[in-house]
Amino acid sequence: MSSNLPSYLTISTEINSDLSKAIETLNPDKIVVLVDENTKKYCFPHLHVSVDAQIEIQSGEQYKTLETCIKIWTQLTAIGCSRKSLLINLGGGVIGDMGGFAASTYKRGMPFINIPTTLLSQVDASIGGKLGVDFEGLKNHIGVFQNPVCVIINTAFLKTLPERELKSGFAEIIKHALIRDAEQWEYLNRHSFEKINWNEIIPKSISIKSKVVQEDPFEADARKILNYGHTIGHALESHFLNSDTPLLHGEAIALGMILENEIAATVGLLSQGESAEINEFIRSVYNLNLQLPNYEMLRSHLLQDKKNDAQGIRFSLLKKIGACAHDVLVEETVLKNILK
Amino acid sequence: MSSNLPSYLTISTEINSDLSKAIETLNPDKIVVLVDENTKKYCFPHLHVSVDAQIEIQSGEQYKTLETCIKIWTQLTAIGCSRKSLLINLGGGVIGDMGGFAASTYKRGMPFINIPTTLLSQVDASIGGKLGVDFEGLKNHIGVFQNPVCVIINTAFLKTLPERELKSGFAEIIKHALIRDAEQWEYLNRHSFEKINWNEIIPKSISIKSKVVQEDPFEADARKILNYGHTIGHALESHFLNSDTPLLHGEAIALGMILENEIAATVGLLSQGESAEINEFIRSVYNLNLQLPNYEMLRSHLLQDKKNDAQGIRFSLLKKIGACAHDVLVEETVLKNILK
């Protein structure tokens, strides 16, 4: 199984020895760690490496912006970082994506190591090299593709997470099963959320994503299936971002998967039976009683999806459990009907 | 000679047919052109391709900033550009570097074509994939390495340039000769600036840079010789950027080469004779009667040079005409003495 993991990724029980080894190989002239108020308190004390400086940003998707990125660049400059310095991103997806983007563009690229501390970032952001920030309310609108020097995953960090955060990450585990691995889907169905063994499920889930990314690193084609649930999910996430009830990424994706399954069933791609089976399972995990925004508002977000072209909004939709189509054009009448 | 040019670069007498061919191959869903007030007036009318939108920025290094880049991203978004759209950067180094950076980071990368219209951008920015913007007064501090889909060079655009601009570009031609090609240096010495045949000299100059870049695309090592004249040159350019008398890039590099030759001669790397010969030639082309900033001010800029590491300021210095060393540490006492 682990042979399917990318070479730069380590699932580690000895985070400090793995980190020290990586640093020794790299031999950086300065080491800076990027944290938020949570990882500073709960995760940083577990790292026993000597760092030259710490950069702290506020936690939360609403700070994944160019403004925060500018603060990171300013601090890297003030610290005197060179292209031979190292940035360690200690945190969830926001820290990894934004810290990675800041490092990749600082003096045209300084090396960075990601230590994902949330379930979501361990199974999703840790692989695939997608970096960036939100821009004008659009998710990851400005960014680059770039892999970290290494990613070190330690499931011990998950113990510090509230259940809502864990469930958010679980949505990507569900997604990976549905698009590529019916066996993994069966496993998830046999175990209740509370009884899942993370050390068993995380490597399997990463390995699914990793295989897809290796087939198509720059998302020209097959990688788009990883966007299943994300076309509508991102639109929902963007819409609720500045509301009183922002959705966690995985919650938005969970609802996105449900709605995209309804679309797939309506256009005859997915059977009604499998759509119902999947949606029932997802609803059993998440509390998704919220009022959808009106269609026009949602559509304005959908039109910004990166997979679109001039012909319209393109979806990645399930064909069956374990298989996913991509670049599916869906008629407005179908969308309107389901997203009303 | 042309076999040394990068595959994406065309030296074209038929700019419209070459551009049309490139567009046909790419088949973009939208075409946007980036211009400044000068290239809008003098160059854009020569392009006979149908574009969906034009983005105009103000000319000048002082606008090569993140703020301008944000305006470009905002307009690409408003135009509805996808990752299958095309940005054509029509202008000098600022347009090419910043437009390329904006495109490379828009939705994690949309394709772009550079049509350099100044001598400087034709012989320098056109090759090597260095993109970016200035940040907090530091040259190209935020950026990435990324090659355009293609670069189309047409020397007819040079006719629209004032002499000062032409001379600015000529500094990079001098630099290329000095670091790698004694024969080209002889050629330059035999011809006065006014009588140079650009169609002859530009391909030769590009080919020198291209060979160096191909040997070391990400500037790990040998590519650093292209920074000859630039360590001090960039510091001078940064210093004078917001003054009443900003230097053109090539003017700063010309003065940078003179001062770095004095350093090389002082530390015994370059002979006093060759240093004097080169510096006399450079002074005969440029009017460089200006007051150097005080050493401490210059030093603060030098400390931000991307080639530095924790040990100090590293220079690329000539060993002789046609050969250049890199990563040379120079003692502060030497610097202070020459830059006083």
Q: What is the ipTM of this complex?
A: 0.89
Domain ranges of chain B: 2-160, 163-338
Is B89 annotated as catalytic?
Answer: no
Judged against a pLDDT cut of 50, whether residue B2 lies above it is answered with: no
- Number of A/B CB contacts below 8 angstroms equals 87
Record: fold of B163-338: Dehydroquinate synthase-like, alpha domain (1.20.1090)
Average pLDDT, chain A: 93
| CB spacing of B132 vs A304 below 8 angstroms | no
As beta bridge partners, residue A318 has A324
**Under DSSP, is residue A133 helix (H, G, I), strand (E, B) or coil?**
strand
Average pLDDT, chain B: 93
Judged against a pLDDT cut of 80, whether residue A212 lies above it is answered with: yes
Q: Comparing C-alpha atoms, which of A33, A53, A57 is closest to residue A44?
A: A33
- Cα nearest neighbour of A129 on chain B: B108
Interfacial residues of A (vs B; Cβ cutoff 8 Å): 29-30, 66, 70, 73-74, 77, 80, 82-84, 104-109, 130-132, 135-136, 138, 140-145, 218, 303-304, 306, 308-310
Shortest CA gap A10–chain B (Å): 26
At residue B3 the predicted structure's pLDDT band, cuts being 50, 70 and 90, is: low
* Tally of CB atoms within 10 A around A331: 12
**What pLDDT shows up at residue B317?**
98
> So which residues of A are the catalytic ones?
108, 130, 172, 209, 219, 223, 227, 230, 234, 249
Distance, in Å, from the CA atom of B216 to the CA atom of A84, rounded to the nearest integer, reads 17
Range A55-66 average pLDDT: 95
pTM: 0.89
Shared fold status for B2-160 and B163-338: no
3-state secondary structure string across chain B: CHHHCCCCEEECCCHHHHHHHHHHHHCCCCEEEEEEHHHHHHCHHHCCCCCCEEEEECCCHHHCEHHHHHHHHHHHHHHCCCCCCEEEEEECHHHHHHHHHHHHHECCCCCEEEEECCHHHHHHHCCCCEEEEEECCEEEEEEEECCCCEEEECHHHHHHCCHHHHHHHHHHHHHHHHHHCHHHHHHHHHCCHHHCCHHHHHHHHHHHHHHHHHHCCCCCCHHHHHHCCHHHHHHHHHHHHCCCCCCCHHHHHHHHHHHHHHHHHHCCCCCHHHHHHHHHHHHHHCCCCCCCCCHHHHHHHHCCCCCCECCECEEEEEEECCEEEEEEECCHHHHHHHCC
Shortest CA gap A230–chain B (Å): 15
Query: Which tokens sit at B127?
Result: 């090759």
Classify domain B2-160 by CATH architecture.
3-Layer(aba) Sandwich (3.40)
**Tens digits of residue pLDDT in A264-288:** 999 999 999 999 999 999 999 998 8
**What pLDDT shows up at residue B260?**
98
